Amino acid sequence: MEDIIRKLAALTTLLCALPLQAQVQESKSRSVEVSLDYRFIPPHGLLRPRAGAANDAGVRVRPWLVNARVSRPWRIEAWDATLTAAIGYEYLKFEYENWDFNRDPARVDALHSIQFRLGFARRLNERWSWRLMGGPSLNSDLKALTAKSLRAHGFAGLEYSLAQRDKLGLGLVYAQVFGKNLVLPGVFYHRRRESYRVEIMPPARAAAYWLARKNLDLGLLLNFSGNNYRIEAPGELHGKRVEYSLGTFGPSVIWRIAPGCAWNFDAGMVLRHRYAVMDGRELYRDLDMKRSVFVGMGARLGF
């Protein structure tokens, strides 16, 4: 694990060195953005071990996640609109301690999500604009490729500019942020001043940052993320689904190292850690984990 962290840190340094070498000038928007995120949680026991299953009491699970994304916007001047395409890949790995594989071979070791998204935003007037976003994702263990592994996500809503730096949005979201396919109210509020900024996007995210320096933001971040995966591997779990979601809270640092390049560091408490194997709507295996701590880091490169 330490080797992975070192490699990610080295990659972050390399990504952020590219704009310096190319002498990229700062601009309000960049044609391509590349992002890389990593999250690690130390091993923790199961929240509700199965009654009568002595092995469950000693089982500890260590999940870690890597997320990469590339996005590209196109400005459509005739419509006063922007079209954005993005492709992403997410790798979720589970490492187990004290799991008796001989007695209980049915377990999930790694899950993947390949995502494609199109977004369209158009200004209606000085105050109002509307936004559409959606696309498919392939969520499974990739032991086989089937249409049943496909999932959709999307958003449709309106955005209102309350002031020059304040925005309010309302709409509907279809996503798997809590591990289930849910239609949720899409609400967001952005407020920015000279010394601070606030982002509220219930129920998935809330953040407040102090703009300590021109290139340094210090704050607190509440974040929920998750997905829904199909198990394609042959065996006892074939055709079942994994519902995974993670809720975290803690300090967050964003450091803009160079024009177009930023590094972020998050850490703190895991408030909710859902890991369940579902057979249809029935719970097949409860692997929810106890509360713990987490560490996350990432890099953004725009050019």
pLDDT, tens digit, for every residue of 102-161? 888 889 999 999 999 999 999 999 899 999 999 999 999 999 999 999 999 899 999 999
**Any idea what DSSP says for residue 289?**
B
Quote the CA–CA distance of 36 and 70 in Å, as a whole number.
9
Interatomic CA distance for residues 187 and 139, integer angstroms: 26
How big is the CA angle at 209 (ends 207 and 211), to the nearest 5 degrees?
Answer: 160
Region 15-19 average pLDDT: 40
Going by C-alpha positions, the residue among 248, 243, 231 that lies closest to residue 281 is 243
Average pLDDT of the chain, as a whole number: 87
**pLDDT band with cut points at 50, 70 and 90 for residue 53:** low
24 pLDDT exceeds 60? no
Range 132-135 contact pairs with CB under 8 angstroms and sequence separation of 24 or more: 132/156, 134/174
Query: Which structure tokens are listed for 268?
Result: 């703190």
Residue 30 confidence class, pLDDT cut points 50, 70, 90: low
What is the spatial distance between Cα 65 and Cα 95, in angstroms, rounded to a whole number?
11
Q: Does residue 298 have a pLDDT over 80?
A: yes
For the chain, give the longest Cα–Cα distance: 67
Residue-level pLDDT at 17 = 39
- Averaged pLDDT for residues 276-285: 92
Model confidence at 52, in pLDDT bands (50, 70, 90)?
A: low
> Is residue 195 pLDDT above 50, yes or no?
yes
* Exposure string for 170-190, b = 16+ CB within 10 A, e = fewer: ebebbbbbbbbeeebebebbb
Given a contact cutoff of 8 angstroms between Cβ atoms, the answer to whether 172 and 155 are in contact is yes
| Interval 21-25 mean pLDDT | 32
User: For residue 78, what is the DSSP state?
Assistant: G
pLDDT tens column, 221-280: 999 999 999 999 999 999 999 999 999 999 999 999 998 899 999 999 999 999 999 999
Half-sphere exposure in the Cβ direction for 116 (13 Å, CA): 3
CA 45 to chain centre: 24
